[in-house]
Structure 1
Amino acid sequence: MYKVQKKKPEVDIHSQLKYRFRLNFYDKPPLDDIIIEDFETFALDRLRVLAEIETAFVRNSPWETIKKHTEDQCRKYLELGHTTAKTKDLDRERQKDHISHFVLRLAFCRTEELRRRFVKAETTLFRIRYANEDPQELISFLKSRDFDWVEVSSAEIEQYRDQLDAAGGKGSDTFYKVGLNRDAVVVFPEVIGLHQVKWTRVPDLVEKRKVFLKGGMAYVSSKEQSSIIFQSFQAHLEKALELTAKALPRLDEDTRIVPILDHLSQGFLAGGTSEWNNATSANGDEITADMVDDISRKHFPACMRNLHNALKRDRHMKHFGRLQYGLFLKVLGLSIDEAITFWRRGMSTIQDDKFNKEYKYNIRHSYGLEGKRANYPAKSCQQILMNDQPGSGDSHGCPYRHFSPENLQTALLSMYSSQGLTSADIPEIMQIVKGGHYHVACTRVFEITHAKYGIRKDNGVGDGESVTHPNQYAAKSRELELGATKGAVKKDTDGDVAMS
């Protein structure tokens, strides 16, 4: 039997909050005044969480792994404390959650594909929050909503006891018989009791034979009622997205919002936005032109390996290639003087006068030393995937997206076979690429080529995160090598001490 504990008389803490519950079906749009910075940053933070959820599904991660990675991402970007938390600004956290959901609803309502992906990710986020909810809070939340279910009477339970036991498993009557009253609650992470709904609302339970069916109704035990709740959340969101899509044309003339929505809707393609847009050198250490070739073989993602190899092969590179590669090297730690040296050597077929007039200025411009003197960030995966598509003779872009399947396979084996990538790994990577999840394919290559440092599948570039920026890939790779080197030095030092 489950424990029954007396409910202590207390003040209703929900009544003191603007957002009463941590769980939310997002029935009502936010009516607050929202500054444009919050409009975008709230949505970007939520997008990072949803993108990692989708990435985990693409990688066929087990549920516990998906749950852990999502919880880690939420702690970083979308914290949502329990109602009993006294040290948190719960209204502010829940306002961010509320606003960010509706902004992304605007961004992802545009196509059926985007709607499908958004619903799957949001439903997964709801499931994880549901599983982590305080039992009493969960009961309060569910009692506040109408799920269109009918509580089964004691007489019916007795009448169909054998069938209910067969559906719920041996001993399942222990939770049918226990109910809620004014003085006590049952400590159990679900609503207690037996309910019936139309069988079409729980097809997953019908398929698994976890419900008793009679007269078109499914009798659902408390431990399976989450299926009804999740289905309700999903159906509600699907309908809301369709209505949002119909209303979206009214925003077309708003020049502030539409570009933001365009940017967000592209986010899933690159696994979310990146925090590396304004990154500096990975370790704060400068690199020299002489070091680039060696670093490229050990630490560069495929896009930058391809650019580096193309420069060595052709002794020349077109504008967008130089821009993509040059900004990457700048953030990697190549100073302006070393950058000029690197490009002068790399483009050795160009005469000095032409190089100084046509190329040196552009290099200095990218470092903020010419023109409007802006400090340009390196291009993220999203920008590489979506902007300035490569044409004939170009070397820029993302190999996972812009190479033919045959060329991609050949290029990957050529680039990474010395780091442990084999032909046996290629089918998995190509299957991910076929699904359009290019950042996941790049992340998988990172895991395979860094296995010697203890990186395993689902580790990503750290804490399960996917690659969202070329400099992120390079920085994490260099960090792993540095950590391994320090560990080896310490081990040798300890050994010397032990011998002395």
Structure 2
Amino acid sequence: MQFPETSFSSPLSDKKNSKRHFLQYEPQFYVHCPPNEAPIESLWEIASQRLELLQEIDRLRSKGTSYQELTSGIEKFLFRRRHQSEYYSYENIIPDRLSDIELRDVFSHFLLRLAFCKERSGQVWFLQNEAVLFQWRLENAPSSQVDLLVEQLQQLCSEENIILRKIVKNLDLEPEFVQLYHYLYQKLPSSSTLLMYQIPFEQVPELVKHRSVIVRSGYAYLFSEQLNSFLVSCFRSFLSKSLGVVRKMEHLAEEHGQLKLLLESLRESQRLYINHFSSYSFEATEREGTGIHLQDLPQAMLDMPLCMFRLMKRLEQNHHLKHGARLQLGLFLKGCGLTMDESLHFWKTEFSKGGISSDKFDKEYAYAIRHHYGKEGKRASYTPFSCMKIIQNRPSAHEEHGCPFRELNSASLDVMLQSYGIQDAESRNSIVQKAREGHFQVACGMTLQMKKAGRRTKLSEETTTPMDNAHYIPSHPNEYFFKSREKNETSLKS
């Protein structure tokens, strides 16, 4: 990922203050876990602090923040943590407290790697936010540290023949490099020479694909800004492979009683974060009479977020959905107010149109619906999925669940938005562009802004500014649904 350049003062930029928090340490690839021992209390302290930072990064990313806002959020967190260490004497609380900054950084990373390697969704969440932390550190690292990373990378990937070599280009003799630099960064180099990195072109296929590098004699030439992006990509690749390896060895770590409790505590903390909106009281919806019932579904479809609207349309067409889609849509409808009997009737009616007999439905599908309502199995009433859980729950081939802003290509998303009622092409293009940039929840919020201004009304300049505090960014499909119904009912009354 590539962030634009920025400059601003931050609470950590005071050069006179040499104190640093361990999360402010230099970037590294975390090749080896240190053999040192540390008290379990100290491990809990550093792991929970790193988890809180990754959660803060995740919140900022989900809002589609700029690099300046993301950086500011990270630095404010570290500033608070650093001053907490000044106010509280941990040495009196935790005996033999782990004090080495590098060890604290490495230990905390490997603890979270162990905690989130068990499930695919946890791996993806950890990988995405660790990559952002790595990039932030890289952006603030001295050139000597970047050189060490390059050396470490070449040792790690010796079999893949990744050879990065520093070279200096004379721009007076190489005008094409000036043109490319200006095209990519909308500015001219500050001097007549430019530091670049030479690498076999097959190691940077994305840059070659987008014509962002010059290729000569089998080598691609990267600008310094592109080197950071390349190192982040290598970090993601290496961490992804490492998570798979740790997953196979995770049972060894859990044989240690105290460590097992620590890892379970970290996972529980993360579950509470991911399902934050799931604590939303649907009983309040029923009590206030805002929930819907089976007869309301046809009229309520356009109030559903696109992820659910898409599944409803697919169900109407095929009269069947695969398990992941049934789970996603079924729990959403439960959260909208449908009772268990209404859900059973709804699914049975739709499946019967596809040729599934009543007996087959009762044998193969009814149990799962009753299970969602806490009437089967362990008798736990399941909550609807949050936006983050839907985004992270990637569908495999021929499956239809997940977030359409992430899963659909631009053309398919444009068609889906048109069927959703957004007829203005410019408005659809704005939404598709945000989805293409990876701001899935921002794009979803823009669709609701369209309804706020009128389903077939062009997006105003204000509504196309996702960083505006007034712009709504959904965190849960049911929240979106009730907000949309509230807007429509208000407009009808007026």
**TM-score, structure 1 length as denominator?**
0.50
Shift of 1:329: 1.6
Q: Are the aligned partners of 2:414 and 2:428 in contact in 1 as well (CA < 8 Å)?
A: yes
Shift of 1:370: 1.1
* Corresponding residue for residue 378 of structure 1: 384
The residue identity in structure 1 corresponding to 2:342 is: E
Q: Are the aligned partners of 1:443 and 1:461 in contact in 2 as well (CA < 8 Å)?
A: no
Distance in 2, Cα, partners of 1:66 & 1:40: 21
Change (3 A) 1:359 1:117: closer
Q: Are the aligned partners of 1:279 and 1:331 in contact in 2 as well (CA < 8 Å)?
A: no
Unpaired stretches in structure 1, ≥5 consecutive residues: 1-12, 131-141, 149-198, 214-229, 265-271, 493-500
Change (3 A) 1:119 1:333: same
Q: Are the aligned partners of 1:119 and 1:234 in contact in 2 as well (CA < 8 Å)?
A: no
* Corresponding residue for residue 463 of structure 2: 456
SS of structure 2 residue aligned to 1:254: helix
* Corresponding residue for residue 425 of structure 2: 423
* Corresponding residue for residue 404 of structure 2: 399
Change (3 A) 1:234 1:484: same
Shift of 1:467: 4.9
The residue identity in structure 2 corresponding to 1:376 is: Y
* Corresponding residue for residue 442 of structure 1: 444
Q: Are the aligned partners of 1:400 and 1:433 in contact in 2 as well (CA < 8 Å)?
A: yes
**Pairing 1:56-455 to 2, within 5 Å after superposition:** 70=73, 80-81=79-80, 118=130, 121-124=133-136, 251=246, 253-255=248-250, 273=274, 275-276=276-277, 280-281=281-282, 283-285=284-286, 286-298=291-303, 300-349=304-353, 351-380=357-386, 381-382=388-389, 386-391=393-398, 395-403=400-408, 405-417=410-422, 422-434=424-436, 438-439=440-441, 441-451=443-453
* Corresponding residue for residue 474 of structure 1: 478
SS of structure 2 residue aligned to 1:327: helix
Change (3 A) 1:477 1:329: closer
Q: Deviation digits for residues 38-97 of structure 1, max 9, x if unmatched?
A: 8886555433333455566xx6x66665567x37xx98xx575275679975969x99x9
Q: Are the aligned partners of 1:461 and 1:467 in contact in 2 as well (CA < 8 Å)?
A: no
Q: Are the aligned partners of 2:315 and 2:321 in contact in 1 as well (CA < 8 Å)?
A: yes
Q: Are the aligned partners of 1:390 and 1:396 in contact in 2 as well (CA < 8 Å)?
A: no
Distance in 1, Cα, partners of 2:143 & 2:360: 74
SS of structure 2 residue aligned to 1:364: helix
Q: Are the aligned partners of 2:282 and 2:335 in contact in 1 as well (CA < 8 Å)?
A: yes
Asked which structure has the greater CA Rg, the reply is 1
Change (3 A) 1:273 1:146: same
Matched residues, percent identical? Answer: 22
Q: Deviation digits for residues 224-273 of structure 1, max 9, x if unmatched?
A: xxxxxx99x99999999999899878745432579x99xx9xxxxxxx95
The residue identity in structure 2 corresponding to 1:478 is: F
SS of structure 1 residue aligned to 2:249: coil
* Corresponding residue for residue 53 of structure 2: 46
Distance in 1, Cα, partners of 2:127 & 2:239: 11
Q: Are the aligned partners of 1:53 and 1:121 in contact in 2 as well (CA < 8 Å)?
A: no
Shift of 1:326: 0.6
Shift of 1:415: 0.8
Q: Are the aligned partners of 1:367 and 1:376 in contact in 2 as well (CA < 8 Å)?
A: yes
Change (3 A) 1:25 1:34: farther
The residue identity in structure 1 corresponding to 2:414 is: Q
SS of structure 1 residue aligned to 2:425: coil
Shift of 1:480: 6.1
Change (3 A) 1:21 1:211: farther
Change (3 A) 1:281 1:146: same
Unpaired stretches in structure 2, ≥5 consecutive residues: 1-16, 118-122, 146-167, 170-180, 194-224, 255-261, 267-272
SS of structure 1 residue aligned to 2:335: helix
Shift of 1:475: 0.5
The residue identity in structure 1 corresponding to 2:250 is: T
Change (3 A) 1:402 1:482: closer
SS of structure 1 residue aligned to 2:325: helix
The residue identity in structure 1 corresponding to 2:415 is: T
Aligned residues: 361
Change (3 A) 1:297 1:330: same
Distance in 2, Cα, partners of 1:464 & 1:274: 22
Task: Kindly report the root-mean-square deviation, in angstroms, between the aligned alpha carbons of the 2 structures.
Answer: 6.0
SS of structure 2 residue aligned to 1:424: helix
